[in-house]
Amino acid sequence: MKKNKLILTLSLVTLFALTGCNKGDTSKEQNSSEKNPTFEVQTVDKQEILDAAMNGLTVPQEVSADFNLTVNAVGGVKITWTSSDPAITINGNMAKVTRSRDGDVNVTLTAVGKLNDQESEPKTFTVKVLQLVIDEQEDAITVKEAKDSEVGTTVKVYGVVSAIVGGVSKSSGDYSASGFYLSDETETIYVYGYMTANKVKRGDYVCISGKIEVYSEGIQIASPELVDDTIISENNPVPNPDGYAITGKTIEEVYNPSTFTGAINNTYVFDCYITKYPESGTTYQNYEIISSLSGGKYMNIYSQASDLKCPENAWLDQYVESKQQVKVAYYINSTNSKKTSYRGNIIYIYEA
């Protein structure tokens, strides 16, 4: 490859200044036949700069926590990264690690350098995300066992946060969560408590301690605390609810408490559409599951009464925008205030 060359033209006066010549010696300057000497200085080839930047990249071979990635390398080279597995997700210069309880996960990270309009060849790294080994609480029980416990019993339960209940205050404009749903392979339960709800997000794997209570027929864990005040891991998939979810029912059959009793505390699988109501509301706006976009029966995705645009349910927007029928697992935890329909939350979506 022919190398680019940088032509630097320096006046003799500048040359003297740069080389430290005697400023008082003017005779040589006056007698010089080259008033403006020209010098050629070769620049380093772009490919050599890219190669040097890529060769200098390193990542850890084994990880158990988030780590930094190089995105601005030597010579002005910009590095972009991609990951082969959700065990490591890339956010700018941060590699966010999600450890599995089932074993180590090998992830391929791919880096590409770019200098102006020229890109390097991809460079790959294999990173082992170490298994998450949990010192299980000996007195912990499953979510189903918690739901079957007597009212007033203190329980300790492991699970994944499958949905958040919260909203934005109309008066202050501040967001706050009031509760969340906790799921494991055996069941889902509602967890009510402001302090803990504002510490977690969907996909967090946690151990919760609290008391079993019943509110408006809904079984819940009240006054919850995070055991050791710890989020065990983040970005976990919600466990598939097929082991306990009820199938074979439509929204039309289930939605009305006066004609379909006993739906509270159960998870139903529906083929439906996810919508917002009103579609372009500027104040109160909620999410719903609906049997038909042309006006079928619906059930509300529950949020706080003061909710503005339901930010905790924004993960559903992709399904709202697609206007495609989806298969969802919907947990019913109460009725609306008039007891004319059930309400709850989507805890799981079956991908096509």
For the chain, the distance separating the N- and C-terminal CA atoms, rounded to the nearest angstrom, is 50
Burial class (CB in 10 A: 0-12, 13-18, 19+), 41: exposed
Pairing of β 188-192 and β 266-277: unpaired
What distance in Å separates the CA atoms of residue 95 and residue 85, rounded to the nearest whole number? 12
* Model-wide pTM > 0.75: no
Q: Measured between alpha carbons, how far is residue 84 from residues 81, 99, 131, 254, 305 in Å?
A: 10, 15, 17, 41, 41
On the question of a common fold for 143-229 and 241-350, the answer reads yes
Instruction: Give the start-to-end residue ranges of the domains of the chain.
Output: 5-42, 46-129, 143-229, 241-350
Task: State which amino acid sits at residue 279.
Answer: E
pLDDT tens digit at each of 352 positions of the chain? 433 333 333 332 332 333 344 444 444 444 444 444 444 434 568 899 999 999 999 999 999 989 999 999 999 999 999 999 999 999 999 999 988 878 999 999 999 999 999 999 999 999 999 998 877 778 899 999 999 999 999 999 999 999 999 877 767 777 888 999 999 999 999 999 999 999 999 999 999 999 999 998 999 999 999 998 889 988 899 999 999 999 999 999 999 999 999 999 999 999 999 998 877 655 677 899 999 998 889 999 988 766 566 788 889 999 999 999 999 999 999 998 889 999 999 999 998 7
Contact criterion met (CB below 8 Å) for 74 and 52: yes
Contact criterion met (CB below 8 Å) for 343 and 330: no
Contact criterion met (CB below 8 Å) for 304 and 178: yes
pLDDT of res. 100: 84
What distance in Å separates the CA atoms of residue 235 and residue 83, rounded to the nearest whole number? 15
pLDDT of res. 22: 43
Whether CATH 1.10.3470 fits 46-129: no
Alpha helices (H) along 77-210? 143-147, 194-197
CATH of 143-229, picked from 2.130.10.10, 2.40.50.140, 3.40.50.11820, 1.10.1740.110, is: 2.40.50.140
Helix (H) or strand (E) holding 27, with range, is: helix 27-31
What architecture is domain 241-350?
Answer: Beta Barrel (2.40)
Burial 98-115 (b: 16+ CB within 10 A, else e): bbbeeeebebebebbbbb
pLDDT of res. 308: 66
